C-alpha cells in the first residue's frame, strides 16, 4: 500500500468533513470510507484508534481523522487530515455566524431560534443520558456526578470540580474494588 501524500489526505478528509452530519451514525460512514473503500486503516487499527480517541480529549470524529493521517504520514499527515476535516465546518459556521449577527434581530429569525433553542435543550438532555449511560457504571460514578452537580450549585470553580472528581476516583475505586472495565472498552 503506497502512502497517500499530505495533499491527497487533505482533500480526502475535506470531502468527509463536508458530508459529516449527525454524530454516532457518522462513525460507521467514516469506517466504511477509511477501512473499506480506501483501505487506509485495517479493522484492528480502526478499533485501536477508536479506543484511543475515546480516552483523550477532543471531538471523536476529528480525532479519528487525525489518527488516520498520523498513521499514514506522521505529524504532517495528521495536520493535513485535521485541517481538511474541520475546514468545511469552519467555513459553514463562520458564514452562519455572520448571517446570525447581522440578521439576528429580524422577527422571523427570532421566531426561528426560539424553537431551535428548545431543540438544543433536548440535545443537551440527550447528551446527558448518552454520556451517563457509558460513564456512570457503578455507584461511584453516580456519587461523583452528584457531588459535581452539588459543587456547581455551590459555585465551586469547574476546574476544581473536574480535578476533584478525577482525584477522588483513586481512593473510591481502590478501596471499593471497582470493576476494572475501562470506559473506552466498555463503550461499543
Enumerate residues 126-165 that contact another protein by CB under 8 A.
126-128, 131-132, 135-136, 140-142, 144-153, 158-159, 161-162, 164-165
Number of residues near another protein (by CB under 8 A): 100
Candidates 37, 101, 175, 177; binder of another protein (CB under 8 A) is 101
CA distance 15 to 85: 8
64 in Cβ contact with 13 (< 8 Å): no
Choose, by CB under 8 A, the member of 3, 36, 42, 97 that binds another protein: 97
Residue 106 interacting with another protein (CB under 8 A): no
Give dist(CA 55, CA 110) in Å, integer.
39
Which is nearest to 27 in space by CA: 83, 65, 55, 56? Answer: 65
Toward another protein, which CB reaches closer, 35 or 141?
141
Return the residues of window 14-53 that contact another protein according to CB under 8 A: 17-23, 48, 51-53
Residue 117 is a binding residue for another protein (CB under 8 A): yes
151 and 161 Cβ atoms separated by less than 8 Å = yes
Q: How far is the CB of 2 from another protein (least distance, A)?
A: 17
Does the footprint of another protein cover residue 104 (CB under 8 A)? Answer: yes
Q: Which three cell numbers stand for residue 177?
A: 474494588
Backbone φ and ψ for 58, nearest 5 degrees, come out as 115, 160
Amino acid at each position: 500500500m503506497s502512502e497517500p501524500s499530505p495533499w491527497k489526505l487533505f482533500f480526502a478528509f475535506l470531502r468527509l468533513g463536508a458530508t459529516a452530519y449527525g454524530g454516532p451514525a457518522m462513525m460507521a460512514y467514516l469506517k466504511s470510507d477509511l477501512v473499506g473503500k480506501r483501505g487506509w486503516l485495517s479493522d484492528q487499527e480502526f478499533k485501536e484508534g477508536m479506543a484511543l480517541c475515546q480516552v483523550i480529549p477532543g471531538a471523536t470524529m476529528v480525532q479519528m481523522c487525525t489518527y488516520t493521517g498520523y498513521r499514514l504520514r506522521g505529524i504532517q499527515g495528521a495536520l493535513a487530515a485535521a485541517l481538511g476535516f474541520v475546514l468545511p465546518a469552519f467555513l459553514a459556521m463562520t458564514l452562519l455566524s455572520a448571517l446570525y449577527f447581522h440578521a439576528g434581530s429580524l422577527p422571523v429569525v427570532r421566531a426561528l431560534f426560539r424553537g431551535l433553542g428548545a431543540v438544543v435543550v433536548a440535545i443537551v438532555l440527550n447528551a446527558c443520558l448518552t454520556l451517563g449511560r457509558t460513564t456512570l457504571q457503578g455507584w461511584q460514578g453516580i456519587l461523583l456526578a452528584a457531588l459535581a452537580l452539588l459543587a456547581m450549585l455551590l459555585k465551586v470553580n469547574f476546574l476544581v470540580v473536574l480535578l476533584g472528581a478525577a482525584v477522588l476516583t483513586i481512593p473510591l475505586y481502590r478501596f471499593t474494588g471497582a470493576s476494572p472495565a475501562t470506559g473506552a472498552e466498555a463503550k461499543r
